[in-house]
Structure 1
Amino acid sequence: MKDDRSAVPAPQAGEPTPMTGGEALARQLVKEGVRDIFGVPGVQLDWAVDALAGMQDELRFIVPRHEQATSYMADGYARSSGRAGVSMVVPGPGMLNALSGLATGYACSSRMLFLAAQIPSDKIGRGLGMLHELPDQSGILKSLVKWHGLAASPAAVPGVLRNAVQQLHSGRPRPVGVEIPQDVLQRSEPVALADATVAAEPGQVDEALIERAAALLRRARMPVIVAGGGIVAAGASAALARLAERLQAPVLVTENGTGALSSRHPLALNWLSSRALLPHADVVLSVGSRFIEPQGAPPRLRADARLISVNAEAQDLGPPRTPEAAICADARLALEALAAALDGHRPAADRTGDVQTLRAWTAAQLADIEPQCEWLRVLRSAIPDDGFLVSDLTQVGYPAHLGYPVYEPGTFISAGYQGTLGYAYTTALGVAAAHPDRAVVAIAGDGGFGWTLQELATARRYHLPVVLVVFNNEAFGNVRLLQERQFGRSYATELTNPDFMHLAKAFGVDGMRVSNPAGLAGALAGALAARRPALIEARTGAFPSPWHLIRGGAPATPNPLGTPINVEGDTP
């Protein structure tokens, strides 16, 4: 039987109407275009959850089995769709449980709206030992979001939410946090809903800096573009392709930028190619990337190379980088402005042949880890061009940005620099919630999947047809690999796993076991066609280390483009 309160006409913006803080929260979220919330109910959220119950036709409340999953699901929802991914948890341990997903969203420029309840307003900061009290919950939350607000009254809730959503759609995409005390959610008073947020247009691009960058690019003999995750976040892939074609500039796609340019594009290269290409580049245009290697230093360039950096964050333009032109701007606007400034430009050479040479060279390098790449080829052949792959930290997942071609922006999702083990399955559930008609595949190791295996219940309950491939070697495989390389032995890496087929059956999802890539091909095709939640266990042994290919270092073979001019830091 439907709650009678759902029949009450929704108040219009600016018209004060008596409602609880929980009702104000639910109604303003609807005005802001939110249709899905990932959360776990609890006593401090009772009045918010009751308001959601009265608006089930407009707001879907998806309840996973652990608070950690709420933020991971919101992250996957946001990054795959560009819409706000909303999670909601109780204070204290509820918020703490969800912070790993929030940290991942912060690292990966995710539009996440994180709603945390608070203890009663008059008890905050007094150290009285209230249920779920933290010494400084607001301070903890502020450290992981770009903007934070606390609603002090029901009437303040709409405005705080509107400001939060405004922040989500201005500047660099990153999570925002809103706290609402328990008493505010419960109390009723006249509340005027706020007008829906209108996404702010990106700021203007400095024309003088654009012209300085364009002048450098006009003179370049071998321009190279480095495309980072900011390209995907800004929806700038088409602008990137236009500029690359105008310059005939090879495009090096970073790990976080995977998908910024289709792998089929004749100028697209993965980051492994940077070792051979960057020593030849005389002008490097870095867009939407921190332009930092994992060791914390910029990539090594020719001594005479000029660097142009474009980033939405001013702090990512300064030291240790030394750009000749530093442009703080939205990636799409900057790329469009550069393309306009270079209208009619004639490039020094057609570089598609060089790109083909580098692709053949990187393929030869990847032969060192052919077992992993064979699994990746099977995944790519089974997943449609517009299907999603969410890659966990597993021996097959580590080199995925090198060995898994990506054809559409946003269809490859990783944990970014957070390296969040175990995030992939729940993140993929959020992707599936945002895209019910598209294929979603997650890959994880048996170690990482152990973090969230209970969320098979969430997939079943909400009909989220994610296909999970668990590569099972009964160990924390990468930890074991690194220990053996450094110490000659491994310790505390062995795992005792459930029978994954029994586990799938217990949760009511499809289960299949394979032992080789050929078996995965058939199992994956069947699982995707069935459009049901599925778990595929891939039994594997030890894999060769991929780290010599992933984490920099000198190329193992001669440079395929010939002997480069002196690289910064080398002796003549």
Structure 2
Amino acid sequence: MSYDYPDIDKAVELIDKSKSPVVMIGGGTKGYSQLISQFSERIGAPVIYALNGKGVLSDFDERVMGGIGLLGTKPSVEALDKTDLLILLGTSFPYVNFLPKGVDVIQVDSNPSNIGKRVRATVEFVGDVSDFLSKILPRVKEKDDKFYVRMKDSKEKWFNELNKKESDMSKPMKPQMVAYELSKVFTEGVVVVDTGNVTMWGARNFRASGNQRFVFSAWLGSMGIGVPGAVGALFVYDKVLALVGDGGFAMTMMELITAKKYSRPIKVVVFNNSKLGMIKFEQEVMGYPEWGVDLYNPDFSKLAEAIGIKGITVEDPKDLPSAIKEMSESEELFVLNAIVDPNERPMPPKLTFTQAKNYVLSVFREKLEPSEEE
């Protein structure tokens, strides 16, 4: 569907005068990777993504800085700190504290109720992202000084920082290593990521190739979506990988029976730390001792075998690549039970533990204290 954009001249003017534009993408940009790539290259803009925008472009693309928010990356934070123009494409990102203030905003969304919902937009466009980009691409000037090039060192430093945990051969295994090693092998298909600490490892350490489709419970944050979500996805797609925490897996693991019954050869990786890890972290940053977060887990690989599913438990990081290889080459249902470090914290980008504590406290205060309007 084609739309009429009476304010497109204003958008072109803002983009052409901008020295440091940033493109932020969400779920409304899925399927438009080529147009977004052309647009960001032309205007020299780094691309950051809300959780639902992961995988639209490759994480290895030099323009892509990564996610934003508590699950985000340092280069994305730095890009937003330096920007003078934010271009929101198909996203209604709710955590406005992570967005820049006092800059011009261009917002494009097919849902009119999302326009101006989070931040005040300087120029608003109700319509399809692909239609907007097709109209504006021929009109904006090619920038010689590209902002994403200036962000190159920041991204390289961030990847090097991530690599320290992703290549750590200590025991228990680092969950970051598991996510990263999986991303090197499962470069196509659908990746369903459950809710909890595993969301962090999936969002940050599982590098998108640009050929996968990622599924998160981004708005509801529902635990237990991994296995049933993967079963459903495999009725539509040929390759489906589920990343699940042990807490979320325990809630819906009997859906493996459904997968077996209907011959859905999903691949399930359990990040098994015998804890409700995110709750443990929240208790720590609030200053409380951990309480009620221990899990009594069965041997998940044996559980899988009892259903007639191939199962492997991996504790030593040296055994991880071969286990992932075996799983990827299998044509059958497969459960990989990865024993990971329960004390690995899902730290936000650019925040120390003390800063994370203060941030969580501020969020709780906002929820508990009535606003002046109320």
TM-score by structure 2 length?
A: 0.84
Partner residue in 1 for 2:347: 547
Partner residue in 1 for 2:125: 327
> How far did 1:459 drift?
1.6
Amino acid at match of 1:279: D
Aligned partners of 1:361, 1:377: CA distance in 2, in Å?
17
State the percentage of identical aligned residues. Answer: 24
Amino acid at match of 2:275: A
Q: SS where residue 113 of structure 2 aligns?
A: helix
Partner residue in 2 for 1:240: 36
> How far did 1:504 drift?
1.2
> How far did 1:410 drift?
5.0
Q: SS where residue 6 of structure 2 aligns?
A: helix
User: Contact 1:224–1:252 (CA<8 Å) still a contact in 2?
Assistant: yes
Aligned partners of 1:445, 1:402: CA distance in 2, in Å?
15
Partner residue in 2 for 1:107: none
Aligned partners of 1:366, 1:270: CA distance in 2, in Å?
12
Q: 2:82 aligns with which of 280, 284, 292?
A: 280
> How far did 1:542 drift?
1.4
Q: SS where residue 269 of structure 2 aligns?
A: strand
User: Contact 1:372–1:543 (CA<8 Å) still a contact in 2?
Assistant: no
> How far did 1:368 drift?
7.9
Amino acid at match of 1:526: E
Partner residue in 2 for 1:494: 294
Q: SS where residue 318 of structure 1 aligns?
A: coil
Partner residue in 1 for 2:337: 537
Check if 1:306 corresponds to 2:116.
no
> How far did 1:552 drift?
11
Show structure 1 runs of 5+ residues with no match: 1-201, 557-572
Q: Deviations over 1:121-140 (max 9, x none)?
A: xxxxxxxxxxxxxxxxxxxx
User: Contact 1:266–1:355 (CA<8 Å) still a contact in 2?
Assistant: no
Q: SS where residue 197 of structure 2 aligns?
A: coil
Amino acid at match of 1:507: I
Q: 1:257 aligns with which of 53, 71, 79?
A: 53
Q: 2:311 aligns with which of 499, 505, 511?
A: 511
> How far did 1:367 drift?
6.0
User: Contact 1:423–1:448 (CA<8 Å) still a contact in 2?
Assistant: yes
Partner residue in 2 for 1:339: 137
Q: SS where residue 321 of structure 2 aligns?
A: helix
Amino acid at match of 1:307: V
Amino acid at match of 2:76: S
Distance of aligned partners of 1:555 and 1:386 in 2 relative to their CA distance in 1, 3 Å threshold: farther
Aligned partners of 1:205, 1:410: CA distance in 2, in Å?
29
Aligned partners of 1:529, 1:550: CA distance in 2, in Å?
38
Q: SS where residue 52 of structure 2 aligns?
A: coil
Distance of aligned partners of 1:555 and 1:358 in 2 relative to their CA distance in 1, 3 Å threshold: farther
Amino acid at match of 2:178: W
Partner residue in 2 for 1:222: 20
Check if 1:353 corresponds to 2:149.
yes
User: Contact 1:212–1:325 (CA<8 Å) still a contact in 2?
Assistant: yes
Amino acid at match of 2:108: V
TM-score by structure 1 length?
A: 0.56
Alignment of 1:120-139 (within 5 A): none
Aligned partners of 2:278, 2:55: CA distance in 1, in Å?
25
Q: SS where residue 270 of structure 1 aligns?
A: strand
Distance of aligned partners of 1:427 and 1:240 in 2 relative to their CA distance in 1, 3 Å threshold: same
User: Contact 2:19–2:147 (CA<8 Å) still a contact in 1?
Assistant: no
Distance of aligned partners of 1:531 and 1:403 in 2 relative to their CA distance in 1, 3 Å threshold: same
Distance of aligned partners of 1:525 and 1:367 in 2 relative to their CA distance in 1, 3 Å threshold: closer
| Structure possessing the higher relative contact order (Cα contacts under 8 Å, 6 or more residues apart) | 2
Q: Which has the larger radius of gyration?
A: 1
Aligned partners of 2:212, 2:177: CA distance in 1, in Å?
23
Amino acid at match of 1:510: K
Amino acid at match of 1:263: D
> How far did 1:298 drift?
6.1
Alignment of 1:18-417 (within 5 A): 202=1, 204-232=2-30, 235-271=31-67, 272=73, 273-293=75-95, 296-297=96-97, 299-301=99-101, 303=102, 305-342=103-140, 345-366=141-162, 370=166, 371-383=174-186, 385-408=187-210, 411-417=213-219
Show structure 2 runs of 5+ residues with no match: 68-72, 167-173, 357-374
> How far did 1:497 drift?
2.1
Aligned partners of 2:144, 2:21: CA distance in 1, in Å?
9
User: Contact 2:57–2:64 (CA<8 Å) still a contact in 1?
Assistant: yes
> How far did 1:427 drift?
0.7
Q: Deviations over 1:434-469 (max 9, x none)?
A: 123x3x211111110111111111221222111111
User: Contact 1:225–1:285 (CA<8 Å) still a contact in 2?
Assistant: yes
Partner residue in 2 for 1:196: none
Q: Deviations over 1:214-243 (max 9, x none)?
A: 1111111111111111101xx221111111
Q: Which moved more, 1:539-548 or 1:276-285?
A: 539-548
User: Contact 1:365–1:549 (CA<8 Å) still a contact in 2?
Assistant: no
Partner residue in 2 for 1:453: 253
> How far did 1:352 drift?
4.7
Amino acid at match of 1:519: D
> How far did 1:281 drift?
1.3
